[in-house]
């Protein structure tokens, strides 16, 4: 199974929660990623492209696996910080 996702990575939970609320109110995920994310993917609006099993850290991958396409996660904490994840695809 492969997944496609975008994310916004920030250092602290409070910032992540504020950004999550803005996404839920309809602000552009891509614009918020470009503005706030600390990941190099921010230049692509947070898009991580397609990835297979075992390519991402387990906490991130498990969150993506459980999500439905088009949904946005509450902040997910990994060793890199807090991710707001939007699942954009899944394929066998």
Q: What are the 10-residue block averages of pLDDT along the chain, 92 residues in total?
A: 98 98 98 98 98 96 97 98 98 94
Tell me the backbone φ, ψ of residue 39, rounded to 5 degrees. Answer: -90, 145
Q: Residues 20, 81, 88, CA angle at the centre, nearest 5°?
A: 50
Per domain, the residue ranges of the chain are 2-91
pLDDT the model gives residue 37 = 98
Predicted confidence at residue 42, as pLDDT, reads 97
Phi then psi for 69, rounded to 5 degrees? -60, 130
The pLDDT of residue 28 is 98
Task: Give the pLDDT score at 13.
Answer: 98
CATH architecture of 2-91: Roll (3.10)
Give the pLDDT score at 39: 98
């Amino acid at each position: 199974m492969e997944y496609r996702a975008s994310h916004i990575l920030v250092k602290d939970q409070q910032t992540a929660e504020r950004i999550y609320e803005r996404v839920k109110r309809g602000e552009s995920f891509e614009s918020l990623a470009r503005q706030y994310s600390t990941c190099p993917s921010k230049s692509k609006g947070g898009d991580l492209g397609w990835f297979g099993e075992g390519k991402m850290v387990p906490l991130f991958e498990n969150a993506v696996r459980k999500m439905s396409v088009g949904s946005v996660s509450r902040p997910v904490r990994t060793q890199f910080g807090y991710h707001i994840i939007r699942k954009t695809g899944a394929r066998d």
